[in-house]
Amino acid sequence: MKHLSTVFCIVLSLLFMGTAVPAQEAATPASGHVNAAEEDPYLWLEEVLSGPALAWVRACNAASSLELASGEDFQRLKTDLREIMDSDARIPFVSKHGTHFYNFWRDARHPRGIWRRTTPEEYAKAEPEWEVILDIDALNQAEKMNWVWKGAQILKAGGYRHVLINLSRGGADATEVREFDIQTKSFVKDGFRLPEAKGGMSWIDKDTVYVATDFGPDSLTTSGYPRIVKEWKRGTPLDAAKVIYEGKKTDMSVNAFYDDTEGYERHFVYRVPAFFKSEFYLRKDDGSLVRVEVPVDARAMPHRQWLMVTLRSAWETGGVTYPAGSLIAIDFDRFMQGKRNFSVLYTPAENNSLAGASWTRNYLILNITEDVKSKLVVLKPEGEKWERMPFIGAPENVEAQAWAIDSDENDQYFMTVTGFLTPSSLYWGSIGRAPEKIKSTPAYFDASNLEVSQHFAVSRDGTRVPYFQVNHKGLKKDGSNPTLLYGYGGFEVSMTPGYSGTTGRSWLEPGGVYVLANIRGGGEYGPRWHQAALKEKRHKAFEDFAAVARDLFKRGITSPEHLGAMGGSNGGLLMGNMITLYPELFKAIVCQVPLLDMKRYNKLLAGASWMAEYGDPDKPEEWAFLQKYSPYHNLKEGVKYPATLFTTSTRDDRVHPGHARKMMAKMQAMGQDVRYYENIEGGHGGAADNSQRAYMWAISYNFLWQQLR
């Protein structure tokens, strides 16, 4: 018998089918289709804050909470996860500004967090003394708001005193920006301030900023980001700010920044036509813009005298062809004069890719991935030549990342070392000397009887797809093991090994098998791995994930009756396609902050900015392939789909909660085994504080254990 709240949820869906939608939505149906309101009976659920939609959400939340958030097991798990998330033993990661290390910290006493700082000498201690600069909980109490910290930019000039602080209502991407004075620990009266919008400000000097925000009608792109950037002087109204650059309405966004490196001060403007595409301009003293002529899909990174270029596609220039995935460098001024004699700093191989690069004062650290395993390399420029050096103290067979502490002052770096079963450690070192471990995360779960292995599945087209498996030693290969398969597969994002107290305590310690799939669409093997699953090739990512599932069956690890899957955002699209295209492979699926309606995704919030990744549904030739992996449109009557839990956030202003709402309502009307939980706060992360985060993860794992045990 269904819970009363579930019945109420269904009744509301039936009651409001066909409810009118806002004019701007009803007027923009996908090309070649009937009016969207007539075609989609659940369109009313896209009205995020409407009374009917929120009543539906509350009813679904009540049903899911009654099923998944009751009982001693749930309460114990939620308490355990909250303790992990609030633990004072976590590593307080920092950034250096002037003579201080800055950190933002949440714990049980400060659920929304405190911004604080300490000295390098103190930070090296086991228990540093911290100076609190801003308490977000106290701010919320004073202003009766639900602010969530979204970062700060500290101005170097003036002694690192002036700050631009970003605050979000409930965790959304849109932020309010306020000027703050570190010396007085207060917001500056009549200082720089921007109302809530996507975009923001950045310092030029203490009386001047670059600002890209919602300036009013026609100032935003179709993706909802700024298309105009201005220079704003202190004491003048925002309307009087000087326009620096205007992008196109169809762009993703535009912005500008000032490089304040002493001796290399430069102004830059950048236009982002789409994901992984950008035009980079040097702004000269007279205000004119000169294009930095690198390929539109390359990443251009000025640093001191150098221009670093990371290539996503092959580039033929200066009589040389540089392959996709390469990192090349040249003197910036010589490049702007027309020279093209690049130095090659990194060239990818079949099994490796560049994960990142970081400058110290005199050296460049390369973070390289080989078959999803870490390798660190050091380069030193000597004139136009680059000396390759070993990274002393680089660990093996673990995930390691190194980055500079202060590239203006010295050659010191931080390095993190982690693994599925290795609690994260932080090392402090200097190039040429072995680093010292200064902090480490405690073991949040018992890993003494656990082991990690790497395997390769063969996808439908013969591609070898790597995946990691974590399980108890002596695992019986009889197909009965509860197994959780996780994936993402998009936007060139790599899924790498890492220590998770949440996964360990919730899944591994009780006896579950955890599997991380490195499917195409991600960045594990560089741009080629990402580009192999773009647009009409998106199905390759789904085939890879299904291949990993089948390989687990073949190896006797689990079976469809005991296999679950989890993914969020683009990984939520992956989950939606596992539900609709491969329902026979899974017993249960957790689909988090998902993208599911591929016909309307480009009309919802930031969706238009992802068309370079997925395609344009308003073009008939692209809708032809998009509809093949639009989960919302591929649900069929008479098919038994896996038990599913959808989770999202009302305040997610990146991936519209309407995706999850409509999929839930449609599956529910079909009589499928589904449940839904929407956190009111949290933005795209799904939760605004550790209490909410612990609750969301606890219901997710509780659901998986109920289904797969």
Q: ∠ at Cα 612 (606, 615), nearest 5°?
A: 90
588-592 and 643-649: which strand pairing?
parallel
Q: Which helix (H) or strand (E) holds 608?
A: none
Residues, the chain: 709
Tokens of 144: 């009766």
Please, how many CA atoms are within 13 Å of residue 120, restricted to the half-sphere of its CB? Answer: 12
| Long-range contacts formed by 212-219: CB under 8 A, 24+ apart | 212/253, 212/254, 212/255, 212/256, 218/249
Nearest to 225 by CA among 252, 248, 190, 202: 252
Amino acid at 175: T
The span from the CA of 305 to the CA of 284, in Å, is 16
Helix spans in 218-342 (H): 332-336
Nearest to 456 by CA among 519, 500, 411: 519
The span from the CA of 467 to the CA of 563, in Å, is 15
The span from the CA of 185 to the CA of 383, in Å, is 45
Residue with tokens 């005991």: 562
| Helix, strand, coil share of the chain (percent; to 5) | 25, 35, 40
SS3 686: coil
Active site residues: 569, 684
| Bridge partners for 644 per DSSP | 589, 674
The one-character DSSP state at 51 is: H
Burial class from Cβ neighbours inside 10 Å (0-12, 13-18, 19+) for residue 489 reads buried
The span from the CA of 678 to the CA of 647, in Å, is 6
The span from the CA of 44 to the CA of 35, in Å, is 14
Q: Which residues of 228-275 form beta strands (DSSP E)?
A: 228-233, 242-246, 253-259, 266-274
Q: ∠ at Cα 356 (353, 359), nearest 5°?
A: 135
